[in-house]
Amino acid sequence: MKRITQTTWTGSLNESPLGPMIFTITRGGLTHVQFGILTGLEPSGHTQGGALPVPQSDLLAEIRQQLAAYFSGELQVFDIPVDWGMLSAFQQRALKAAQEIPYGQVKSYARLANDIGQPDATRAVGGAMARNPMPVIIPCHRVVAADGHLTGYSGSGGLATKAWLLRLEGHVVTGERVISG
């Protein structure tokens, strides 16, 4: 992963079904989402590098608003600019393909590998999903094994969180397997 060398800002959504969430942005857009591991967060301004420009303040507010709307079932497609610059070209292709999976649908790792034109890269796609720095916004939870089994989730709570997100989107999940949706 490339190192962030530009100014970053953080914001938070203190109350979500997944616990407190923090997100990091640059002038290019969203770079990270973390949840469920921190407590006592307060919305924050910049973390380094001077005053926060008005458009970035608007972006932090927009991220909060869209996450809240998603969790309440009012939003199905995020419209948040993403700063892809710190990801490899392969990670970008895989995560952008995951971003295209519609709300309420799932896709296998193999199908996603095929979608990006690399049908032999199923494991690499799995690795890209495992290192997704923007879970929920980039819906890696919608990627499952070919037989519907939930395999890995790097967000806090692991497979239980992945199952919860899939249920939120209308899937029936039994044990660790999507059976309908």
Tens-place pLDDT, residues 9-64: 888 887 889 988 999 999 899 999 998 764 433 333 434 444 444 344 689 899 99
Place of tokens 């939870």: 141
Using DSSP, state whether 94 is helix, strand or coil.
Answer: helix
> Structure pTM?
0.84
CATH of 89-180, one of 1.10.10.10, 3.40.50.360, 2.115.10.20, 2.30.31.10: 1.10.10.10
Top-ranked range on mean pLDDT: pick from 26-30, 109-113, 146-150: 109-113
Asked if 104 and 63 count as a contact pair (C-beta separation under 8 A), the reply is: no
Domain ranges of the chain: 9-71, 89-180
Averaged pLDDT, 141-151 = 94
The per-residue pLDDT for 42 is: 36
Which positions are catalytic?
Answer: 140
pLDDT at position 152 is: 82
Confidence of residue 78 (pLDDT cuts 50, 70, 90): very high
